[in-house]
């Protein structure tokens, strides 16, 4: 539903329809008497919907395979859909398919007018050819390839005249109107050597530094890397999709629901043309889309994941269930992958996370050790292994120090936060310096107030050393930043239940645990409830003992 708007109380309304230029949005902001609404080109679902509905209106019966055929001819121009159905109605499906080029060319006439108007200005024309090579492209990337001062005014004109559209939830990406883009691609217009050289350099740098554990993309990346080593020319059908990989990977790694939604939107845009892309690119983009849907707990995931081959499908199911907190199903899915790929370290790392979420550190330990030894420079793997080591009774102090020092040497802010938490645990557990541990972790919390991990470390230390005041502080801080969708929510609930038990509120602690820890493995729930019982009993004994002393 569109937002409500106000128009001054006048005798009549005036409607102004512009088919060539977009209105200036500032008009409606400056004066509420004006209201503007843009009607963009039809997207693929809208085109297909219009195709089906208009065919039904014209009493034209089109089978699914034929619908797919005609759908692939369409761009975003509504009249092209009308023309396609009218052609079928007036001739036949056979003849319409035989002369399908006429349907394609129907929209091309509109695009040709735009191209013809630019022919006298090679700078604008070549810039448009460059933009048309991408399904979408960010402002940042555009102005990494061309001079912003020279080309931003040109881009502004393209946007104003609907040659280009803003794309993405924040509008930070640009895409060329489908009608125009389709005409440029089919006409095989190329880009200048200068643009091509910059694009190649940019992608080369990306490919050299690209790392991803998704097997579907490994062959694709390897083939490009081999081309670089040999000094061979990299074809454009490899270059452009590489930018899509970079964009999706960057957004996914930034995290947050808005970025995950952006990944889904961009993946959908790329997959519109999956028939023309390298199979491994399609698989990788769809894999990334499924990961983002899993992060969002969006049940569209289950429809999309059906298009993924095993064992990646089982891996993604495991990931979805881990994100959703269904640990038993997550573990079962990951084990299915290991039955086919026993040395899949991605899966072993995921299992470590599941076991740690249920605080089953003994089960996590051997896997965490194996994953760490495979890649000791990976901070997450190192931190997971450390967490397991801190929960063991006897540990090699030198090994723990070695891992902590490796974290210390990594300048990443995220890793420094892990290092400080590990250092605090080390002070408490190995040097018996509890006050020093609290001092380190409280300074870390002050430095990273919006990050839950250091606060959880404080809660853990407070529980271990029975400091109810500091535990209360940790819970109050977690209250401000935790939500039911966060991956640390169940750990936060555990500490909240422990706090209740330490205050003698055993029944409330059990109710909270059983209500909010759904999805946690049954064995882990039983073990945790027993722990709460022991904590509550010890708390009650201390209270009785205190009363005896007071009396």
pLDDT value for 199: 72
Confidence of residue 485 (pLDDT cuts 50, 70, 90): confident
Residue 75: CB atoms within 10 A of its CB come to 23
Range of weakest confidence among 71-75, 389-393, 408-412 = 71-75
Range of weakest confidence among 156-165, 169-178, 360-369 = 169-178
How high is the mean pLDDT of the chain? 82
CB 136 within 8 A of CB 165: no
Confidence of residue 173 (pLDDT cuts 50, 70, 90): confident
Which of 121, 116, 124, 245 lies closest to 187 in space, CA to CA? Answer: 116
Confidence of residue 203 (pLDDT cuts 50, 70, 90): low
pLDDT value for 549: 38
Contacts of 208 (CB under 8 A, 6+ apart): 225, 228
pLDDT value for 78: 82
On the question of pLDDT at 147 being above 80, the answer is: yes
pLDDT value for 439: 95
**Percent of the chain with pLDDT strictly greater than 70:** 83
pLDDT value for 21: 63
pLDDT, tens digit, 9 for 90 and up, residues 72-105: 888 777 888 888 899 888 888 888 888 888 887 7
Measuring CA to CA, how many Å separate 528 from each of 26, 154, 202, 512, 524? 58, 63, 52, 12, 6
pLDDT value for 218: 46
The SS3 assignment for 517 reads: coil
pLDDT, tens digit, 9 for 90 and up, residues 209-224: 655 555 444 445 545 5
pLDDT, tens digit, 9 for 90 and up, residues 35-58: 777 666 777 788 888 888 988 998
CB under 8 Å, gap of 24 or more: what pairs does 256-263 form?
A: 257/295, 257/296, 258/169, 258/170, 260/292, 260/293, 260/295, 260/296, 261/169, 261/292, 261/296, 262/168, 262/169, 262/170, 263/288, 263/289, 263/291, 263/292
pLDDT value for 102: 84
Domain ranges of the chain: 44-114
Mean pLDDT of 134-148: 83
pLDDT value for 286: 92
226-256 exposure pattern, b = at least 16 Cβ within 10 A, e = fewer: ebeeeeeebeeebbbbbbbbbbbbebbeeee
In angstroms, the CA 153 to CA 123 distance is 12
Burial class (CB in 10 A: 0-12, 13-18, 19+), 63: exposed
Contacts of 357 (CB under 8 A, 6+ apart): 322, 327, 487, 490, 491, 520
CB 543 within 8 A of CB 349: no
| Token pair 């569209």: residue | 300
pLDDT value for 4: 47
Mean pLDDT of 151-175: 83
Q: Which residue has the higher pLDDT, 122 or 539?
A: 122
Range of weakest confidence among 189-203, 250-264, 394-408 = 189-203
CB 361 within 8 A of CB 387: yes
In angstroms, the CA 31 to CA 110 distance is 34
pLDDT value for 227: 54
Confidence of residue 543 (pLDDT cuts 50, 70, 90): very low
pLDDT value for 157: 87
On the question of pLDDT at 395 being above 60, the answer is: yes
pLDDT value for 546: 41
pLDDT, tens digit, 9 for 90 and up, residues 413-458: 889 999 999 999 999 988 999 999 999 999 999 998 888 999 999 9
Contacts of 281 (CB under 8 A, 6+ apart): 217, 220, 241, 244, 245, 270
Q: Which helix (H) or strand (E) holds 166?
A: strand 164-167
On the question of pLDDT at 234 being above 80, the answer is: no
Residue 264 structure tokens = 């889904």
pLDDT value for 486: 82
Mean pLDDT of 173-197: 78
pLDDT, tens digit, 9 for 90 and up, residues 331-387: 999 999 999 989 888 999 999 999 998 889 999 999 999 999 998 888 999 999 999
In angstroms, the CA 519 to CA 327 distance is 6
């Amino acid at each position: 539903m569109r937002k409500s708007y106000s128009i001054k109380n006048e005798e009549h309304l005036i409607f102004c329809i512009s088919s060539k230029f977009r209105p200036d949005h500032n008009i409606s902001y400056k004066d509420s008497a004006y209201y503007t609404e843009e009607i963009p080109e039809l997207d693929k679902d809208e085109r297909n919907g219009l195709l089906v509905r208009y065919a039904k209106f014209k009493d034209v019966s089109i089978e699914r395979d034929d619908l797919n055929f005609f759908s692939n001819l369409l761009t975003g121009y509504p009249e092209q859909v009308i023309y396609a159905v009218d052609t079928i109605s007036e001739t036949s499906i056979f003849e319409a398919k035989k002369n399908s080029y006429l349907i394609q060319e129907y929209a091309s006439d509109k695009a040709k007018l735009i191209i013809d108007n630019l022919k006298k200005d090679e700078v604008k024309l070549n810039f448009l050819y460059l933009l048309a090579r991408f399904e979408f492209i960010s402002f940042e990337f555009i102005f990494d390839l061309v001079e912003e001062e020279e080309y931003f005014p040109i881009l502004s004109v393209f946007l104003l005249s609907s040659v280009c559209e803003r794309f993405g939830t924040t509008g930070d990406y640009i895409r060329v109107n489908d009608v125009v883009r389709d005409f440029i691609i089919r006409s095989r217009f190329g880009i200048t050597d200068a643009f091509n050289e910059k694009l190649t350099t940019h992608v080369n740098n990306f490919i050299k530094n690209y790392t991803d554990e998704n097997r579907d993309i490994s062959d694709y990346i390897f083939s490009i890397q081999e081309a670089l080593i040999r000094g061979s020319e990299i074809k454009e059908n490899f270059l452009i999709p590489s930018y899509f990989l970079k964009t999706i990977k960057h957004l996914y790694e930034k995290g947050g629901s808005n970025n995950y939604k952006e990944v889904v939107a961009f993946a959908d845009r790329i997959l519109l043309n999956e028939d023309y892309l390298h199979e491994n690119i399609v698989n990788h983009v769809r894999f990334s889309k499924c990961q983002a849907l899993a992060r969002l707990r969006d049940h569209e995931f289950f429809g999309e994941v059906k298009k993924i081959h095993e064992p990646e499908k089982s891996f993604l199911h495991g990931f979805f269930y881990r994100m959703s907190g269904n640990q038993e199903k997550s573990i079962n899915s990951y084990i299915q992958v290991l039955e086919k790929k026993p040395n899949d370290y991605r899966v072993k790392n995921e299992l470590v996370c599941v076991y740690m979420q249920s605080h089953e550190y003994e089960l996590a330990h051997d896997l965490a050790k194996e994953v760490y030894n495979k890649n000791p420079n990976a901070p997450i793997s190192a931190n997971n292994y450390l967490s397991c080591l801190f929960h063991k009774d006897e540990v090699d102090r030198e090994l723990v120090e070695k891992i902590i020092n490796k974290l210390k040497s990594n300048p990443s802010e995220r890793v420094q936060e892990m290092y400080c938490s590990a250092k605090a645990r080390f002070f408490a557990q190995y040097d018996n310096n509890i006050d020093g541990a609290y001092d380190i972790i409280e300074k870390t919390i002050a430095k990273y107030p919006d990050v839950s991990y250091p606060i959880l470390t404080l809660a853990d230390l407070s529980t271990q050393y029975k400091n109810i005041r500091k535990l209360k502080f940790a819970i109050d801080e977690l209250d401000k930043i935790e939500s039911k969708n966060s991956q640390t929510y169940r750990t936060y609930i555990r500490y909240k239940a422990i706090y209740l038990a330490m205050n003698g509120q055993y029944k409330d602690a059990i109710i909270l645990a059983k209500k909010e820890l759904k999805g946690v493995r049954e064995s882990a729930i039983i073990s945790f409830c027993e722990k709460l019982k022991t904590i509550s009993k010890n708390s009650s004994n201390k209270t009785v003992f205190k009363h005896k002393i007071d009396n």
